[in-house]
Amino acid sequence: MTTEFLRYTLDYAKQLDKEDILRDFRNEFYLQPNTIYMDGNSLGLLSKRAEKTLLESLEDWKIHGIDGWMQGNHPWFFMAETLGEKLAPLVGAAPEEVVVTGSTTVNLHQLVSTFYQPKGKRTKILADELTFPSDIYALQSQLRNHGFDPEDHLIRVKSRDGRCIEEDDIIAAMTDDIALIVLPTVLYRSGQILDMKRLTREAHQRGILIGFDGCHSVGAIPHAFSEWGVDFAYWCNYKHLNGGPGSVGGLYVNCKHFGTMPGLAGWFGSTKEKQFDMEHTFTPAQSAGAYQIGTPHVLSCAPLLGSLEIFAEAGIENIREKSLKINQYLMDLIEHELPDMGFVIGNPREDIRRGGHISLEHEEAARICKSLKEHGIIPDFRAPNIIRLAPVALYSSYAEVWQVVQVLTTIMTEKHYKKYPNTREVVA
């Protein structure tokens, strides 16, 4: 039996699992029997530590009542900043540059209302045509609030192939009428990583502020927001960071902008010493905390306290190394087992350009996803033709990846998917 042939066997996958330095973290998560979870890029699984810190916060409320603000296991008054400190290493920032607050779109509204300051000829916002729709809706509404027509003032860089965005095309669009740039770190369909360092440098050379949506990268790949000079960023914490459905979002503001008045001021953006003075003069915190608006959603923050302990122990570099390896193994298996089944791997193949999930294209994608679910495999569908598969470094095994491809082969060979309509579910 040749070494090349062995690569495609279950024994080889099991050997990779034995060599995996992160394998013990799998025991931290609630994995369901007879189910293989490949959708951690949409909603991460519950960990036992996240459950523990949530229950501890419930206990704080039960025992301390209003005194939970300053007492108990996890005092609420400092929870957003405490979580920001724990998140900072994952995004390459100083602790005071990160805070956990709001949601992805609320934080985007806050940051654009703060940093979009149209003056003279500079009135337009630059984005891309493949970004998540919610970001586009927010940018359009911000432009309308300034009296601008989004059709003219929201510039969306075109994709050459419908999958990826070329950095050269983004840079070419950085013209002297652009006031602000908002881009994804990782494109949600194809998993392409944009070169944030290069784009930030090019934007600043032209006098343009730039921010990034990190929803599909934070917790999956290392970042260096402060080193790169990124002006701001925002993200959700329920995907790769396993914070739970509706988990509170996160935002980063480069320390060079501390003191910039929030576009949307609220009492929890106050400096801590003044917050309960109840003055009608807003005194913003000299940190990312200034860009909070309302009271922290304590019970939605609490699971992150436990989840981020796991990330600190595992190390984001180790997580990235396994993510690249296990996703490459998935692609190798697909190409070996399913060469003539109509599949196209739509994500970038180079490690430096590939995020934490595989984008598998097929004209019957919606049907195939339903068939996979019937077989106990949880994928993710994105219209019109994408099956997203995300082996997650902390809880996915190589043996599971091998099994996913065997099931996919059976589904395609037996045409099991044809029993379903080729339409998405209500929640895709």
Report the binding-site residues for pyridoxal 5'-phosphate.
104-105, 132-135, 213, 216, 238, 267, 295
Q: Give the whole-angstrom CA distance, residue 44 versus residue 217.
A: 13
Q: Give the whole-angstrom CA distance, residue 293 versus residue 264.
A: 7
Cβ-contact 368, 380 below 8 angstroms: no
Q: Give the whole-angstrom CA distance, residue 193 versus residue 417.
A: 31
Q: Which of 134, 188, 131 is nearest to 155 (CA)?
A: 131
Q: Give the whole-angstrom CA distance, residue 384 versus residue 424.
A: 9
Structure tokens at 305: 């306290």
Q: Give the whole-angstrom CA distance, residue 380 versus residue 365.
A: 10
Report the binding-site residues.
104-105, 132-135, 213, 216, 238, 267, 295
Q: Give the whole-angstrom CA distance, residue 250 versus residue 261.
A: 19
Partners of 218 in beta bridges:
221
Q: Pairing relation of β-strands 250-253 and 344-345?
A: unpaired
Residues with Cβ within 8 Å of 31's Cβ and at least 6 positions away in sequence, in order, are: 37, 45, 395
Helix H or strand E encompassing 156: strand 154-157
Q: Give the whole-angstrom CA distance, residue 269 versus residue 243.
A: 23
Q: Collapsing DSSP states into helix, strand and coil, what is residue 13?
A: helix
Q: Give the whole-angstrom CA distance, residue 321 versus residue 318.
A: 5
Partners of 232 in beta bridges:
211, 253
CA 144 to chain centre: 27
| Residue at 315: amino acid letter | G
Q: Collapsing DSSP states into helix, strand and coil, what is residue 353?
A: helix
